[in-house]
Amino acid sequence: MRLTLHIWRQSGPADKGRFATYELGSVNTHMSFLEMLDVLNSELIERGEEPVVFEHDCREGICGCCGFVIDGVPHGGQRGSTVCQLHMRHFSDGDELFLEPFRAKGFPVIKDLMVDRGAFDRIMQAGGFISVRTGSAPDANAIPIAHDQVEHAMDFAECIGCGACVASCPNGAAMLFVSAKIAHLGLLPQGQPERDARALAMVEAMEREAFGACTNFRACEATCPKEISISGIARMNKDWRRALLRGGTAVSGKRK
């Protein structure tokens, strides 16, 4: 299988960037998308050219590092999967593909297809934790929690923080990510003592990072590789308003 790849090349955050075109032949349909890029990079290195920079780690759909845009869709549009889980059998001989990084003010480009997702780390540091000692596994199992409640919390805990929600949102909103992190702790007993402070701290951190606001396009839900529901956004807004009405304060990194 032969492919024509138009790949965004950008040497750093200050560079304007441009698309560069590469022809790649003999692509094996059993390859993953990242393996195909590995082959391209090997050819570029052999020719003495700069390889394409893209981020990856687990290559199993766990870490979310590999996220970039393929033909205008984060992760390539294969529902419920990341780029590393996308295989070349989903493409056809002679296809022309456009590859570019996630576009958002909160995700500055480091180089080529790699962006800085440090904004997500800072939001998590603001309140995505519980400061009470939860004990070992047997102690945790001693806390009675309804099965449906646990399953609901784990649905939100599946969020891998890849940033596809931000890249697909016309407003560059990070509310699906933030709401998932707030909800998976807020739905469990261990997360109740800091529930108000967590909502305030993480929403305030999100706003400091200059992400946009949700206007219910639902593009985030459609492109999320873990298919996180936007119902979490409504829950986050409810927790945030309740915390404000109670006169709560956001306490980052400290107990309430």
| SS3 at position 98 | strand
**In the 8-state DSSP scheme, what is residue 51?**
P
SS3 content of the chain, % helix, strand, coil (to 5): 40, 10, 45
> What is d(CA 69, CA 76) in angstroms, rounded to the nearest whole number?
6
pLDDT of residue 133: 74
Pair 212, 169: CB distance under 8 Å: yes
Report angle CA 138, 144, 148 to the nearest 5 degrees: 115
Q: What are phi and psi of 92, to 5 degrees?
A: -120, 160
pLDDT of residue 50: 97
CATH architecture of 3-111: Roll (3.10)
pLDDT of residue 247: 84
162 Cβ neighbours under 8 A, 6+ residues apart: 64, 65, 66, 67, 74, 75, 82, 225
Per-residue pLDDT of the chain (256 residues), as tens digits, is 999 999 999 999 999 999 999 999 989 999 999 999 999 999 999 999 999 999 999 999 999 999 999 999 999 989 999 999 999 999 999 999 999 999 999 999 999 999 999 999 999 999 998 887 767 766 767 778 899 999 999 999 999 999 999 999 999 999 999 999 999 999 999 899 999 999 999 999 999 999 999 999 999 999 999 999 999 999 999 999 999 999 876 654 443 3
Pair 40, 52: CB distance under 8 Å: yes
> What is d(CA 253, CA 256) in angstroms, rounded to the nearest whole number?
10
Q: What is the residue extent of each domain of the chain?
A: 3-111, 117-245
Burial (CB count <10 Å: 0-12, 13-18, 19+), residue 128: buried
**CATH fold of 117-245:** Fumarate Reductase Iron-sulfur Protein; Chain B, domain 2 (1.10.1060)
